[in-house]
Amino acid sequence: MHLLDNPIRSDELLVKTVNIKHRFYASSSEPLSHRELIEFAKANADEQLIELYNDHSLGYADNGGSLDLRQELATLYGHEIGAENIVVFPGAQTGMTITTQALLHPGDHAIVVTPSYQSLEEGLKYAGSEFTRVVLSPDDNWQLNIKEVAAAVRKNTRYIVLNDPHNPSGALLKEKVKRELVILAEKNDVLIFSDEVYRLLELNSNDRSKSITEMTSNGIALGTMAKPFGAGGMCIGWVACQDKIIVEKLLKAQHLFAVCVSRPGEIQAMMALRSRDKIIAKNLAIIYENLKLLEQYFSRNDDLFEWMPPQAGGTGFVKFKGPLSGDELAEELLEEEILVFGSAIFDCDEKLKQYFRIGFSRRTMPAALKAFELFIEERRAQWGHPR
């Protein structure tokens, strides 16, 4: 299978919509500026890091990520994870793809949750792996059904792919479910690759359960500066794993396929990580305000929409109860320069065809919601839902 054999589901849409007015789908936090970052570093009296930024070498950075950044990243996890357990990649997407290539062989079998981010599944196909989808459902609050996972395990199953917090629903896996999954994985000698890029954006920090990499040496966690920090342009993602043999394989794969990450991005990431409480509080404040507006809107319009409040991240999956599918609604919204993701972006099955994804982590969301509201009001009568 060639890497480009499958269409990129969101690609056509995003190419068509470069200058679109309302990005009501956007998933990462409000973009951070470098100037803001320097202000945060100054507030921390971190002159040394500012100096490091001004003076850094533009030669190749260290394979697997520089030690100073890996030490900083390790502080996101418990004692199980040190700098030596972290491999830095040029963004989370590169991290997930290279990890999958490095750990799977053609003919291996994987289990992947769906609906989920397309690249999680594409990586499996590209690695030549067979895979079984386990479908999450709003009827179970998007929780993983462990019995279904157990039923999907085969002799050649090597890998279970999770996304927690979950894009698109914004649901969090219950710690109890994660513990059951860990037992299943250890018993069957299967790795758990958990895409945790929306971690740190839990609406209630008490809901944050342990990262999969803290729970088991079979666990591999994926993180990014893009989602919680609004810093996708730093191009810094990472994988954390207790198992030293896996780390060695990832270092080798990183060296062969990604060479190194950007040193300025690494230093910026350290600045952001040292101010993480402030930056994340700022980003969560935007999310709380936007969610309030969404709650109000969807409760005023509950004849047309079913809204399950998310628990984490910047995305929600909304059910449309009108006469169009989620994809048809998304297409009509596009005509009005409002971009949401229909369920086809997640290759959803029939049961989820009424769903579409929105994003609520940007300061531009209230304007997008206003335009959305106007659009819906104009169509209510023709849809048989007059005011």
Answer yes or no: are the C-beta atoms of 225 and 232 closer than 8 Å. Answer: yes
- Comparing CB distances to ligand PLP, the nearer of 325 and 361 is 361
Contacting residue, 13, 27, 122, 123, with ligand PLP by CB under 6 A: 27
Say which amino acid occupies 57: S
Q: Cα–Cα–Cα angle for 159, 232, 236, nearest 5°? A: 60
Cα angle at 218 between 187 and 128, to 5 degrees? 95
Q: Specify the 3-state DSSP secondary structure of 41.
A: helix
Tell whether residue 311 is a contact of ligand PLP (CB under 6 A): no
SS3 of 194-241: EECCCCCCECCHHHCCCCHHHHCCCEEEEEECHHHHCCHHHCCEEEEE
Task: Supply φ then ψ for residue 330, to 5 degrees.
Answer: -60, -40
Residue count, binding to ligand PLP (CB under 6 A): 13
Please tell me whether residue 226 binds ligand PLP under the rule CB under 6 A: yes
Minimal distance, residue 265 CB to ligand PLP, in Å: 11
361 binds ligand PLP (CB under 6 A): no
Instruction: Say how many CA atoms lie within 13 Å of 360 toward its Cβ.
Output: 29
Residues 148-167 that bind ligand PLP (CB under 6 A): 163, 167
Reading the block at residue 8, the tokens are 């990129």
Q: Identify which of residues 226 and 340 has a Cβ nearer to ligand PLP in the complex.
A: 226
Residue 91 touches ligand PLP, criterion: CB under 6 A: yes
Q: How many CB atoms lie within 10 A of CB 249?
A: 17
- In the complex, what is the shortest distance from the CB of residue 195 to ligand PLP, in angstroms, rounded to a whole number? 5
Only one of the segments 18-26, 87-95, 257-265, 319-327 lies at the binding site for ligand PLP (rule: CB under 6 A); that segment is: 87-95
Nearer CB in complex with ligand PLP: 93/101: 93
Does residue 195 belong to the site contacting ligand PLP (CB under 6 A)? yes
Stretch that binds ligand PLP, among 34-42, 91-99, 249-257, 299-307 (CB under 6 A): 91-99
Q: Contact between 117 and ligand PLP (CB under 6 A)?
A: yes
For the chain, the helix, strand and coil percentages under 3-state DSSP, each to the nearest 5: 45, 15, 40
Q: Which is nearer to ligand PLP, 40 or 117 (CB)?
A: 117
Residue among 172 and 376 whose Cβ is closer to ligand PLP: 172
By CB under 6 A, tell whether 46 contacts ligand PLP.
Answer: no
Q: Is 224 in the site for ligand PLP (CB under 6 A)?
A: yes
Rounded to the nearest whole angstrom, what is the least distance from the CB of residue 361 to ligand PLP in the complex?
A: 11
Tell how many helices (H) and how many strands (E) occur in the chain: 15, 11
The sign one gets for the Cα dihedral 356, 361, 367, 369 is positive
Residues interacting with ligand PLP, by CB under 6 A?
Answer: 27, 91-93, 117, 163, 167, 195, 197, 224, 226, 232, 237
